[in-house]
């Protein structure tokens, strides 16, 4: 006798290798930290932007950060491109990349 789909749902397991899961976790944490940096930077720049801009940026960052696990789990091959594009968009406002220490040349 065939089991209904709901009975099979409890038998599903993640068959990805442990290494793949570990890499996904590392990637998720890295992206989360990058988005947190932009959020913190935005808070420091609060006086430089209108309340509307701050509100929209905070909402967008909150939305992305709430879904970063899902993005990383389901992102596929385009994940890095999508997250890079999102980070670049936030950087357009926060200018966080410009705050980095310049490289030391010898």
> Could you write out the DSSP letters of every residue in 46-103?
GGGS-HHHHHHHHHHHHHHHHHHHHHHHH-GGGHHHHHHHHHHHHHHHH-GGGGSPPP
Residue 7 has pLDDT above 60, yes or no: no
Q: What percent of the chain has pLDDT over 90?
A: 25
Residue 6 has pLDDT above 70, yes or no: no
106: which DSSP letter?
-
Per-residue confidence (pLDDT) for residue 77, from 0 to 100? 67
In this predicted model, what pLDDT tens digit does every residue of 13-61 receive, in sequence order?
A: 555 556 667 777 888 899 899 999 999 999 998 999 899 999 999 999 9
Q: Decide if 14 contacts 21 (C-beta within 8 A).
A: yes
């Amino acid at each position: 006798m065939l089991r209904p789909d709901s009975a099979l749902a409890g038998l599903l397991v993640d068959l990805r290798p442990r290494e793949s899961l570990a890499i996904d976790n590392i990637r998720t944490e890295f992206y989360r930290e990058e988005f947190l940096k932009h959020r913190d930077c935005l808070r420091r720049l609060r006086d430089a932007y209108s309340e509307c801009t701050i509100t929209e940026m905070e909402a967008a960052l909150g939305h992305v950060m709430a879904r970063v696990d899902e993005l990383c789990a389901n992102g596929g091959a385009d994940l890095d491109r999508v997250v890079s594009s999102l980070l670049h968009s936030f950087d357009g406002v926060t200018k966080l990349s410009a705050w980095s220490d310049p490289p030391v040349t010898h």
